[in-house]
Structure 1
Amino acid sequence: MSSRGLGFGLAGVGLLCAMLAGCGSDAGRGEAAQRHIGLSTSLPLLWAESDDPRELLAADAKPSWAGGLLAEHGQLTPLDTLAGKDGQLPLPDDALLVMIQPRALSPQENLALDAWVRGGGHLLLFADPMLTQASRYALGDPRRPVDLAMLSPILAHWGLVLEFDGTQSAGERLVRLREGSLPVNLPGRFHLLGNSGDGFPDRGNHGIAAPNARSGKSGDALARCRLESSAILADCVLGRGKVLALADAALFEDPDAGVPLADRRDLLSRLLSRAESGD
């Protein structure tokens, strides 16, 4: 999440975090309270779109359902950058990083993210090639969510390409995942950049068994990926870490417009659990 877009920086985000039940700091939540979850997003999940920072920090300001859910699952840390002063991703090695339509990453952030995942980090990524979520901000406004996912360098490094079919019809529809029905609207699909090595076994989940994917460039990806649900989901092992990527972010749109809120919450919880696991 970029403080440049919000205008009041991480200090304001910290106050918003406090609204989210301490961002998972309540010791009464047991194991979930000890789990570290990093969040990088351009979507208004911890704040409401507003021109007035005072409105964002008002006592009755409410985070989105997704921001609240993430806080329930662990100690939530909003990230303004993926590369700290030491050039490393500012999360513990065993944390979960959730990236939901993030802004474009700098070369330093790409390096930090790659090293962190390979070292054992787990990433849940929602990368939408054609975001359909409405925004009050005009095109070009830095506060507007990123309309087109711009993660090609890091995805290619891992052996993945995010493709988009411009001929598909707009409108929310459901795609079956093993965790449940995922609402999508103008989704993308993942494509593997060449194959090499031993296959990543298909666990019978209507997936496409995919061997190690390589981009063909020296030093590029050794991710072992399985594509599922018409390649909208990529489940990858990278070094000692894991990447669970989805090519759409319609899950985070207005729950009153389609799939009920309870179903969206349940699906996101299941995806968080899958990303955290080694399965």
Structure 2
Amino acid sequence: MRFSNHLIGLVNFLTFLLSIVILGGGIWLSSRANNTDCLKFLQWPLIVIGASIMVISLAGFAGACYRNTFLLWLYLFVMFFIIVALIGFIIFAYAVTDKGGGRPVTNKGYLEYYLSDYSGWLRDRVVDNQYWADISSCIRDSKVCPKMGRSFNGVPETSAMFSMRKLSPIQSGCCKPPTDCGYVYVNETEWDTSGGMIGTDADCTRWSNDQQQLCYQCDSCKAGVLGSLKRSWRKVSVINIVVLIFLVIFYVIGCAAFRNNKRMDNDEPYGEARMTKARPSRIHM
């Protein structure tokens, strides 16, 4: 009968330890003197998530281990809404990442990404100037473009080698100009624009060899971010489905622990009454 209580207590103890790590990471990011816009963008979600998991875990742990029916009820109440929210997020993630993808380029190993291929809620958020300022700052701070450089036996990568590379959506959209611009390859993040056959793509005029600018303001960069988000959200959705299955299992076990607590609470007065009746009365002389 107590197995469900012990299991729920153990699970919540482990999630409590996890919440300490998450909360500590958020506090660490907020305390850094040289905080970048990207780190500031991440710190508050980490703090909120960590604090929420900590409170829920403590309620579940105390409710299960100390047979506190109210705390266990509160834990199950919050868990129910978490499960519903997770189901909603899984459906939402698949809905907003339904459209878009990279287009193949003739004689190239990488794909090109176009903003016009995407639509809906996620696209509107990415192209919004306020959101894009934070996103582009994150891309710049991550140094994904400077890290593209390769060499073979001390020899820099050639144009032919580069054209056959499998680039990530952000590398393709943000770190190089669109192929239609016709710019001449110098290295991974530098292109000769003097003899380029500038195409109709507006991103051709937005490209800059300035390593702090590159194509961070290009539509292709925004499309690359959308392409990367689509991949990431699909992977996260698969993980969320697995997490959802475990949450449902733990919720059922928690319900069993809750019923066990209520049954024991209801049985205590009855058991005490039986023990009182069973005691032999003293004979008074």
TM-score (norm 2): 0.23
Q: Which structure has more helix as a fraction of its residues?
A: 2
Higher normalized strand content (fraction of residues): 1
